Amino acid sequence: MQGSSALLCKIRVLADQSRSYLSLGTINIFNFLCSVGSMVHLSLSLWRFCLLSLPLASSLSIPQKAIVEESEDSTLIRDLVIDDAELNITDYTSLDEWNPAEWDYDVVIVGGGPAGLAASMSLARVARTSLLYDSQEYRNEQTRYMHDVLGQDGQVPLKFRSTVRQQIEQLYPDYSFWATRKTKVIGIVPLEKGFRVYDDKGGKVTSKRVIMATGIKDVLPDKPGFAEAFGRGMFWCPWCDGHDYKNRKLVVYGKLASAIGSALNMRKLTTDITIVTGGPLSKEDKEAAETRWPGWETVLKNSYKIPIRENDITKVERTTTSMEPKDDQYKVYLNGGGPLDANGIIIHVSTVQTSSLPKQLRLNMDGNGVKVNDNKESSVNGLYVVGDANNDGSTNAYHAMWSAKRAAVHAHVSMSKQEYLDSVPSAMVAVAGGHEDFYRRQMEELESHIGDDVEQMYKALGG
């Protein structure tokens, strides 16, 4: 097309110096293409491209820091600086690359924990192809057994993941695909109606949707023995590990108000509990505890007989070589007084996102979680965040699988709708008010159905 000569331009995307964000997105590309469009004869399909991209470009947009400069080159060159890796990607030489006719996959799934695997299966059940990347950084990496999951109670997490994966591979070889093991996604670029995904092995694929199931990490105090003990007697979730410490010695380590909460949640399992507060209690600590647990001092001392040690823990030491939970034994060293013996240690930790992708994409956040709507869609249209990484406020295997299922359903339904709309003859669309209005109205109508529940989504699809 004549217009291609006008695409003689070089886009150099400079990453944010300090953060190295992925810095190219739809608005600049759209603006650029529209300004190019004014210089060329716009064919019918280009008009369609511009019109259709209006609502989508704004909804897919991510904040930009791009410098666009004219050049003699015949290609658009983007230098993406992502973390430590620098990619030279020759891209967007034509409208086809901005809005490809063929997609490599319906969905790219980033993450191979329970959330990512659930998405893979769900999509395969409705004949949607997916490619799953797994960098093998699991939150429960050190956990010996997973619990409180029907049919999987006491299962080794690695075994759980490999069994699920094997089942998916056997049942849905035509739909569920897997990137080479330990491949990390390092960049995701929104296109007009989908995404281009880059990995650390130099690969890139396109997909209509992305489901990020990238998880979170627990940030442990930098103290001797903590990293080794985490998931092996040191834990935060009573439902996950608590039952292993029934009638055994427990230390609860944390700020007074939350430590009392954990102690109460464990008290049905064991009454042999000591709270260690991390240091002398301040007036604020006591007030916070009083607000949440009126009369805490009296109840803990006289009724529950839970001692409170106003010390910090300096080190924990495993005093048994057996790795079975039933044998867990620790010495908990304090900065005052002798060490405590404990079988289990409950700890309160903060968490961070495992992946830098939410930062690169500048997704809206809610605290440390990626902000998602009811359908688990992030602030970038068509990009879902499921499992621990989102802001649902729940972090367990059930939530991971449920939220992935929800996203997979929404992704499928919205792709089906989009495919339908793309098949409507142009003449009919014109009668309905033109592409922009027609398209927007239809997608809004779909959203109103999807705002409901999963069942409603099937109905929206005509099921």
Ligand X SMILES: Cc1cc2nc3c(=O)[nH]c(=O)nc-3n(C[C@H](O)[C@H](O)[C@H](O)COP(=O)(O)OP(=O)(O)OC[C@H]3O[C@@H](n4cnc5c(N)ncnc54)[C@H](O)[C@@H]3O)c2cc1C
Q: Does 325 bind ligand X (CB under 6 A)?
A: no
Least distance to ligand X, CB of residue 397, Å: 3
Q: Within 10 Å of residue 177's Cβ, how many Cβ atoms?
A: 19
With respect to ligand X, which residue has the nearer C-beta, 256 or 387? 387
> Residues touching ligand X: how many (CB under 6 A)?
41
With respect to ligand X, which residue has the nearer C-beta, 242 or 382? 242
Q: Does 114 bind ligand X (CB under 6 A)?
A: yes
Helices 435-450 and 397-423: crossing angle in degrees, nearest 10, is: 150
Pick from 85, 149, 281, 288 the residue near ligand X by CB under 6 A: 149
Pick from 25, 231, 238, 369 the residue near ligand X by CB under 6 A: 231
Which CA distances in Å does 151 have to 27, 148, 154, 159? 48, 9, 9, 13
Least distance to ligand X, CB of residue 442, Å: 32
Using CB under 6 A as the binding rule, the residues of this chain from 416 to 445 that contact ligand X are: none
Q: Does 111 bind ligand X (CB under 6 A)?
A: yes
Q: Does 310 bind ligand X (CB under 6 A)?
A: no
Which CA distances in Å does 216 have to 35, 111, 139, 223? 42, 11, 6, 21
Strands of 308-309's sheet, edge to edge? 234-235, 344-347, 250-253, 273-276, 308-309
DSSP label at residue 339 = P
Least distance to ligand X, CB of residue 330, Å: 15
Contact stretch for ligand X (CB under 6 A) within 32-40, 69-77, 354-362, 411-419 = 354-362
Q: Does 397 bind ligand X (CB under 6 A)?
A: yes
Which residue bears the tokens 């464990």?
A: 266
Tell me the β-bridge partners of 105. 207
Which CA distances in Å does 355 have to 138, 202, 344, 360, 372? 11, 18, 30, 10, 16
Q: Does 110 bind ligand X (CB under 6 A)?
A: yes
Using CB under 6 A as the binding rule, the residues of this chain from 240 to 299 that contact ligand X are: 240
Least distance to ligand X, CB of residue 107, Å: 14
Contacts of 289 (CB under 8 A, 6+ apart): 256, 257, 260, 296
Q: Does 185 bind ligand X (CB under 6 A)?
A: yes
Lookup: tokens for 454:
């999963």
Which CA distances in Å does 199 have to 63, 180, 183? 22, 10, 7
Least distance to ligand X, CB of residue 312, Å: 22
Q: Which residues bind ligand X (CB under 6 A)?
A: 110-116, 133-140, 143, 146-149, 184-185, 213-215, 218, 231, 235, 237, 240, 354-355, 357, 387-389, 395-398, 400
